[in-house]
Amino acid sequence: MSDAVLDKQVKTQKTRKRRVDPEIGVSLSWKTLKMQKQLIFMSVPIAIYLIIFNYAPIWGWLMAFQNYRPALPFGKQEWVGLQQFQFLFSDETFMMVLRNTIAMSFINLVLGTVTAIGLALLLNEIKAKFFKRIVQSISYLPHFLSWVIAAGIVATSLSIDDGIVNIILMKLHLIKEPIMWLSEGKYFWGIIGASNVWKEVGWGTIIYLAAITSIDPSLYEAASMDGAKRFQKMRYVTLPGIKATFVILLIMNIGHILDAGFELQYLLGNGLTVDWSQTIDIFVVKYGIAMGNYSLATAAGIFKTIVSVILVFIANYIAKRLGEERLV
């Protein structure tokens, strides 16, 4: 008897749940299809578009397992198994490209996050609303410019005869003669990192600043009562308050660790710095489009995609285990 009661209770709970979350009650049937025909009409064509433009190209992955020659029909291509991948990972250039990509990506990620959080913390301390808004608006202005314009600006600022960077460094007597920044590989990663900060720091700040604003003010009051100073409040209230935002952005960015960027490196790199400036994306363009080695370039692309997806899932899993916000 008690079993029956329990059963009934479970059942009512289920029906109640069904009313709250209608999704459970909907099953794939002609009736639902007919009922939702307008929703289907509004979304399925776009999904098909997506499949064509984002998923259909996956058939091209087959090229990575062939010695693809454009002149031959698909059936006549020579299959070579994992040879392209073997070549890729024994290729010195690819290893260098991989190193450059990860290094620049890592620099951008760390530098970008630290400066964005730092600027957000400092902006948050500004009491004059008007001044705060002006600084903010100006700081994210470069985000809206293309990398072409940004690259032009970087090149101008670093130029040897009239670049502002050299002029300032010389006036400060830090260097004796102008440095040819863009002609030496050892400066390249730093230049990319600094350019990224210049272009994106304001934009990155927006989200952290919003997270800071949403922290409960009573936490700050309580901290003040306990005698916390400005920096202690930052350390013990603000930083924990933006942790969730930080984690979710980190997960989102980790998937892009092999996207160090293409444009700036392509535009600023040159023959002298090629060992430091080439990224996977440039490698793909160079081997694939310019040299016509489609198979090798496709193999590099596959490697990149698979690493990205794996990294996102790992990051997401770790975040889940740590009880943090997560993406999927």
Partner 1 sequence: MKAVTKSSGRIEPIVFHTINTIFMLFVVAITLYPFLHTLAVSFNDGSDTLAGGIYFWPRAWTMENYRAVFITGTIYHAAFISVSRTVLSTVFGVFLTTMLAYTLAQQQYIFRKKISMLFILTMYFNAGLIPNYFLIKELGLLHSFMVYILPSLVSAFNLIILRTYIRSLPGSLTESAKIDGAGDFRIFWKIIFPLCTPVLATVALFIAVGAWNSWFDTFLYASSDIKLSTLQYEMMKLLGSTMSTNNDPSALAGNQHNQAQALVTPASIRAAITIVTAVPILFVYPFLQKYFVVGLNLGSVKE
Q: Which of residues 182-241 bind partner 1 (CB under 8 A)?
A: 182-183, 198, 202, 206-207, 210, 229-230
Q: Give CA separation, 86 vs 83, 91, 294, 296, in Å.
A: 5, 8, 15, 10
CA torsion, points 62, 68, 71, 75, in degrees to nearest 10? -50
Please identify, among the stretches 8-16, 89-97, 218-226, 291-299, the one whose residues bind partner 1 according to the rule CB under 8 A. 291-299
> Is there binding between residue 261 and partner 1 (CB under 8 A)?
no
> Is there binding between residue 57 and partner 1 (CB under 8 A)?
yes
Angstrom distance (rounded) from CA 294 to CA 222: 62
> Is there binding between residue 130 and partner 1 (CB under 8 A)?
no
Report the residue number, 107 or 150, with the smaller CB distance to partner 1.
150
> Is there binding between residue 56 and partner 1 (CB under 8 A)?
yes
Beta carbons of 84 and 295 less than 8 angstroms apart: yes
Buried b (16+ CB within 10 A) or exposed e, 263-278: ebbbbbbeeebbebbb
The nearest distance, CB 204 to partner 1, in angstroms, is 10
Contact with partner 1 (CB under 8 A) among 193, 241, 261, 301: 301
* Residue found under tokens 């440039």: 282
Q: How many residues bind partner 1 (CB under 8 A)?
A: 104
- Residue 66, helix vs strand vs coil: strand
Encoded amino acid at 106, one letter: F
Contact with partner 1 (CB under 8 A) among 38, 76, 90, 217: 38
Within residues 85-114, the interface with partner 1 by CB under 8 A covers none
> Is there binding between residue 6 and partner 1 (CB under 8 A)?
no
The nearest distance, CB 305 to partner 1, in angstroms, is 6
